[in-house]
Amino acid sequence: MILIDGADLVASRPGRPLFTDLSLTVADGDRVGVVGINGCGKSTLLAVLSGELEPEGGVVRRGRNARIGALPQRPVLPRGTVRSAACDGLGAEAWQGEAMLTRLGMGDMLDRSTEELSGGQHKRVALAALLAREWDALILDEPTNHLDLDAIAYLESWLADFAGGLVLVTHDRHVLDRVTTKVLELDRGRGFLHVPDERSGGSGYAAYLAGRSEREAQAAAAEQTRKNLARRELAWLRRGAPARTSKPKARIATATALVEGRAQAAARDGELGLGLGSSRLGSKGIELHSVGFAWPADGDSPARRVLRPFSHGLEPGDRLGIVGANGVGKSTLLDLIAGRRDPTDGHVEVGRTVKIGYYDQLGRELALDRRVRDVVAGDQRDPSVADVKLMRQFWFDGDAQFAPIGSLSGGERRRLQLLLTLIEQPNVLLLDEPTTDLDLDTLRALEDFLDDWPGIVVVVSHDRVFLDRTVSDVLAIDEHGRAAIVPGGVGGWLIRRAAGPAALPSLSASTSTKSETTSTSASGPSQQSTPTRAVSKKSPSTLRHQLGLAEKTLAKATAERDAAQDELIAASADHEALARLGSKLAERQQRVDAAEEHWLSLADEAESIGIEF
């Protein structure tokens, strides 16, 4: 049954078209992901399909009596409580609304007024209200924004089981890969529908990646062919070819068209200009000494503990991801590191050369009527030549530089915020939900940039792919405010969460720094002591042999741990296997830790007698 049929759709925004002659049909069982660069018209298309906006051209037909639910990018809730917003009209099924609110992290705010909610909380309540009802088709614009990893995993499973039609805009590649059966790519005003084949294994996202790559290769080959033909025809024209008959005249016209022709302009010129460099970072980064935080008592509300005291050290080159449910204090921890808040326990010690860049969820307070170029220029009256070049590198070229911020899409505003963060050349980057609203191309460019960036990176994110690509250690914060490094990265943490509390690592009140030479107290900096190194009594040849064996043992243990982690990821839908494999991964991580400790001990002995290794 056809639920939504959009034919020859046209839409634009001031100064440029978005798409023309775009057609899309959604039937039962279709799950269509919509992708494209920021500002290409994805949200506009969804608003047209849902009936929120009328197209400038074309027509949208909806199935007779089809129940179509929509989640806009910025939903508006009715006045009242969170419970009433999600449950009103459900009658005896009101429990489903409350259950969905709990699933999406709003279960402790049922009696809160909707007028007191943040933008992210608004979206979660609107999504809960939508999912608690019966629909033949759903149109969802960035439903994973502002959800924690548990809620995203639940939504992903829910959508995968949804039998109706689905149109989805999301930048979560994991969700796209698992949920979509087709992907509609918007590119320079045109739509390209990618349908899976044997190569893509049924994944709409894989079909999109393969189709886009093939289209770009064909375009490059066609342009090369055109250039070769134009070169030959230009040589023919220069020889003074006769033009007395219709045949030569036609050839002259063809030659002229080839010579003057141009390939279609790229959607964006060049790579995203993230390579702005960074200030020099010395050997000392940032140290958290028994840092904790509690909100003070306020009226009838008692004091509330957010983070229990813990210690951790951030050194040059560190890549730390922070994970946990919504509300456990991840953003608060970033604020403590950045100095935006003072800890109620312990203290933060910052190296003399540290320069922090904070890319947060809310972004800078930017007046919506200010233009992009004015914000980049700062206190200067007009942007410099370097500023103009930088805006172009961040894909703000031509008219986009003069656009008021209020006219930018959510992703374009986030990209502008990223520009304003990196232009200051920090050497410590704090990224709070950096993937929100950024398109896939920008995400890949940011991931590639972080691969080679020499400073410290601390990321709070619910995007599994982004975390896997960018961080090496994961710090988990639980519902009681306890923090600890989790073996196995974000995949290991998710698997332990799914397997239940018994599979979780013990989150102690304190996590040691890497060097484990710093003892801390809440009253001030610790006194560091340098232990006297014992000189090894082993012979150099014995030590070299033992070091070689230890390296092999460590390599084998690491390979076995990585294999166990792959098994866990592959078994993400089998909860019985999750518990078993979670324990297996923890055991193998312990082997890696023991092997690494043994190697370090031998290396220390070797260094004490001057052996190079």
According to the model, what pLDDT value does residue 336 have?
94
555 and 506, same structural domain? no
Q: Is 431 helix (H, G, I), strand (E, B) or coil?
A: strand
According to the model, what pLDDT value does residue 515 have?
42
Q: What is the DSSP letter of 379?
A: T
In the structure, what pLDDT confidence band is assigned to residue 45 with cuts at 50, 70 and 90? very high
Q: Is 435 in contact with 418 (CB distance < 8 Å)?
A: no
Last residue of a domain, one of 175, 193, 211: 211
pLDDT above 90: residue 220: no
Angle subtended at Cα 325 by Cα 150 and Cα 80, rounded to the nearest 5 degrees: 95
Q: What is the pLDDT of residues 431-483, one digit of tens each?
A: 998 888 788 888 888 888 888 788 899 999 888 888 888 888 889 998 888 89
Q: What is the pLDDT of residues 72-116, one digit of tens each?
A: 988 989 999 999 999 998 888 889 999 999 999 888 889 999 988
Residue 27 lies in a domain: yes
| CA–CA separation, 525 and 541 (whole Å) | 42
Q: What is the DSSP letter of 245?
A: S
Mean predicted confidence (pLDDT) in 393-400: 77
Mean predicted confidence (pLDDT) in 158-167: 93
Q: What is the pLDDT of residues 308-353, one digit of tens each?
A: 999 999 988 888 999 988 888 898 999 999 999 999 999 999 999 9
435 and 418, same structural domain? no
* Residue 332 C-alpha from the chain's centroid: 19
Calculate what percentage of the chain has a pLDDT beyond 70. 79
pLDDT above 60: residue 59: yes
Last residue of a domain, one of 211, 229, 261: 211
**HEC profile for 363-375?**
CCCCCCCCEHHHH
Residue 523 lies in a domain: no
Q: Give the range of the structural domain holding residue 14, as residue numbers without chain letter.
A: 2-211
Mean predicted confidence (pLDDT) in 373-384: 80
Distances (CA, A) of 225 to 218, 232, 259, 261: 10, 11, 12, 12
According to the model, what pLDDT value does residue 240 have?
62
According to the model, what pLDDT value does residue 250 have?
65
Distances (CA, A) of 124 to 49, 84, 103, 104, 558: 22, 14, 10, 6, 40
Residue 255 lies in a domain: no
According to the model, what pLDDT value does residue 148 have?
84
Residue 242 lies in a domain: no
Residue 476 lies in a domain: yes
Calculate what percentage of the chain has a pLDDT beyond 90. 29
In the structure, what pLDDT confidence band is assigned to residue 42 with cuts at 50, 70 and 90? very high
Worst-scoring range by mean pLDDT, 155-169, 209-223, 238-252?
238-252
pLDDT above 80: residue 519: no
430 and 471, same structural domain? yes
Q: What is the mean pLDDT of the chain?
A: 80
Last residue of a domain, one of 390, 409, 424: 424
345 and 374, same structural domain? no
Mean predicted confidence (pLDDT) in 406-431: 84
| CA–CA separation, 493 and 375 (whole Å) | 40
Strand partners, 350: 286
134 and 41, same structural domain? yes
Angle subtended at Cα 36 by Cα 14 and Cα 144, rounded to the nearest 5 degrees: 105
Count of Cβ atoms closer than 10 Å to residue 225 Cβ: 10
According to the model, what pLDDT value does residue 512 have?
45
pTM of the model: 0.66
Q: Is 113 in contact with 81 (CB distance < 8 Å)?
A: yes
According to the model, what pLDDT value does residue 572 have?
58
| CA–CA separation, 458 and 354 (whole Å) | 14
Q: What is the pLDDT of residues 267-280, one digit of tens each?
A: 555 555 566 666 67
Worst-scoring range by mean pLDDT, 67-71, 222-226, 239-243, 271-275?
239-243
Worst-scoring range by mean pLDDT, 200-204, 394-398, 569-573?
569-573
| CA–CA separation, 63 and 43 (whole Å) | 22
According to the model, what pLDDT value does residue 139 have?
97
Using only C-alpha atoms, what is the Rg of the chain? 28
| CA–CA separation, 463 and 435 (whole Å) | 7
| CA–CA separation, 598 and 482 (whole Å) | 29
Residue 79 lies in a domain: yes
According to the model, what pLDDT value does residue 261 have?
63
According to the model, what pLDDT value does residue 529 have?
40
State whether the Cα torsion 361-363-365-369 is positive or negative. Answer: negative
According to the model, what pLDDT value does residue 593 have?
76
pLDDT above 80: residue 128: yes
145 and 82, same structural domain? yes
pLDDT above 60: residue 508: no
Residue 301 lies in a domain: yes
Give the domain CATH number at 444: 3.40.50.300
312 and 181, same structural domain? no
According to the model, what pLDDT value does residue 516 have?
42
Mean predicted confidence (pLDDT) in 379-394: 78
More confident residue, 309 or 204: 309
349 and 372, same structural domain? no
122 and 173, same structural domain? yes
279 and 203, same structural domain? no
pLDDT above 60: residue 517: no
Count of structural domains, the chain: 4
Mean predicted confidence (pLDDT) in 387-401: 79
Q: What is the pLDDT of residues 235-248, one digit of tens each?
A: 766 666 554 445 56
Q: Which of 320, 369, 342 is nearest to 513 (CA)?
A: 320
According to the model, what pLDDT value does residue 566 have?
74
In the structure, what pLDDT confidence band is assigned to residue 182 with cuts at 50, 70 and 90? very high
Residue 557 lies in a domain: yes
| CA–CA separation, 216 and 263 (whole Å) | 12
Q: Is 281 in contact with 288 (CB distance < 8 Å)?
A: no
569 and 454, same structural domain? no
In the structure, what pLDDT confidence band is assigned to residue 405 with cuts at 50, 70 and 90? confident
388 and 317, same structural domain? no
Give the domain CATH number at 601: 1.10.287
* Residue 46 C-alpha from the chain's centroid: 22
Q: Which amino acid is it at 286?
A: I
